[in-house]
Amino acid sequence: MEPFLLRRRALAACTATVAVGVLALAGLTGSASADPAPRPTGPTAVSTDQLSPGLLKAMRRDLGLTAAEARGGIGHESRAAAVAAGLKRALGADFAGARVSGDDAALTVATTDAADATRIGRAGAKAVVVAHSRAELDTAKAALDRVALRKAPEGIPAWYVDVATNRVVVQAARASAADAFLAAANVPHALVTVRESREEPRTFTDLRGGDAYYMNGLGRCSIGFPVKRGSSQSGFVSAGHCGTPGVGTSGYDQQAQGSFQGSVFPGRDYSWVATNTNWTPRALVNGYGNGDVPVTGSTEALEGSSVCRSGSTTGWHCGTVQQRNTSVTYQEGTVSGVTRTNVCAEPGDSGGSFISGSQAQGITSGGSGNCTQGGTTYFQPVNPALQAYGLTLVTNGTPTDPPTDPTDPPTDPGGGWAAGTFCNAGDRVTYGGVAYRCLQAHSAMAGWEPPNVPALWERG
C-alpha cells in the first residue's frame, strides 16, 4: 500500500449555479478565439453559508480546516474550475490539463504552445509549457485500457494521466509487468512513468446517498445518489459490482426496497436500482449525525480539489481528487474511467457518495488501505452512469422534474438556447440546429451552452 499523505488544505468545487456565476465573473465565453478576461480579485461571489455541518466537520477532521477556511476555499476552487473550463475550450489541441494547489486553489494550466502563456496569465492562471497535450496522453491511456479490457494486466494495480508530471503513470509491482503492458498496447515509454506499487485494490462489496442497502442477503453496499427515470420511477445509482440485473435489494431497515435494473462491472463500475413506492428519493447525502448534505448538481471538480465521501461503514471522510480517467485492476478485472483519490474507505462503503461542496462527483468503487491507516480510493464518476441509463439526478432537496419520455414527440417550448434565460428540468431547446433536453433547473450563462455542459443538457 502506498503511504497515505494528506497535506493539502484545499476545498471542493461548489454547485452548478456557483460555477455559472464564477464563469460569468471570469468573463469567459464559448468562443475559442476570445481571450479570457483577468481573474477577478477580492472575495468570490459564491454563497457558502449553507454548507452542511457534516461536510464542514469532516473537512475539519481530515483536512485540518476551520469552517471559515472551508467556506473561503470552496469559492476559490469553484472559480478555478470555471476559468479552467474556458481555457480548455480556448486552447483547443494545445490544452494539456489543469490543476489547483494551495489554500487559495491557485490554478495551473498546462499547454504545449508557449504562445498560449499570455492568454493563460490574463485569466489569472499560471502557465506551464509541456511536451504532450492532454489529448495525446489520453490516447495513450485509452490504448492501455483496450488491452486491459481484453485481459486484466497482472501486477498492474492502476494507471492514469498525471497532469502534474505530463505523463501517463503506470503503477506496477515489477518493471517487467509494466514493460509487457506497454508493449501489448504499443505505447512508447517516452509518454510513461512507471512507479513501483504494492497496492492490491479491492472492491468494497461488504456493504438518501451514503445509506446502507442489502442485496438478497448477499452483502451490503451504500447508495450513491437518488435518481428519477421517466415520469414516475424512482431509484438510485450505486456501484456495478454490488449486484447484477434482477438482484433484489432491501434498505437500511431491511425492508423491501427494489431491484437492480442495470449494472456494468468490470469495464466500468456503475449500476442503478429501481425502488418501490415506499421509498421517496431526496437530494441529500447522509451526514451520519452531522446534518445531511444537499445535492444541487453534478459539476466535476478539478484535479487537486478536495472531495468528501459518505458510506455506510465509515461515514464521512475527505481528501483530494488526484487523477481523473484512471484505470484500476481488481481481482474481477479492469475498470477504466474512474477517479483516483486519497480518501479512505472500507468494505461496505462501496457504491456510496463522493461529493464536492454540493456537487455530486461519483460512486465509491474500490481501493486499498483503510480508515485507520489511510489509503487510496477510486470512484466511478456519476454523470456517465446517469447518461448510460437515461436517469436524472435528484437535486435541490426534492426530486427534479423527470426528463420527457423518449417516446413522446419532440417539442421545443423554450425555442433556441439563449444566455440569461431560465430552464426547468425537462425543457427542450435548440442550439446549433440540435435539440437538447434540460437535465437540471438553472439559469443559462455564456460559456454554458448545451454542448459544453453535459451535466445540465443532453441531446434529444
- Catalytic member of 76, 132, 241, 442: 241
241 part of the active site: yes
Paired sense of beta strands 359-370 and 353-356, if any: antiparallel
Grouping H, G, I as helix, E, B as strand and the rest as coil, residue 384 is helix
Annotation says 350 is catalytic: yes
Of 269, 292, 349, 427, catalytic: 269
CA distance readout (Å), 40 to 36, 79, 125, 288, 332: 11, 9, 11, 37, 48
Q: Cβ distance 384 to 390 under 8 Å?
A: no
DSSP assignment of 353-409, as one string?
Answer: EEEETTEEEEEEEEEEEETTTEEEEEEEEHHHHHHHHT-EE-BTTBPPPPPPPTTSP
Examine the residue annotation and report whether 269 is marked as an active-site residue of this protein: yes
Q: Is the dihedral of CA 272, 277, 283, 286 positive or negative?
A: negative
What angle (nearest 5°) sits at the alpha carbon of residue 440, between those of residues 442 and 10?
A: 80
In Å, the largest CA–CA distance within the chain is: 62
> How far apart are alpha carbons 263 and 243 in whole angstroms?
7
257 HSE (CA, 13 A, CB side): 29
Looking at residue 131, its amino acid is: A
Q: Reply yes or no: is the peptide bond before residue 266 cis, omega within 30 of 0.
A: yes
Cell of 164: 502534474
Instruction: Pick the catalytic residue from 310, 327, 350, 365.
Output: 350
Active-site amino acid positions: 241, 269, 350
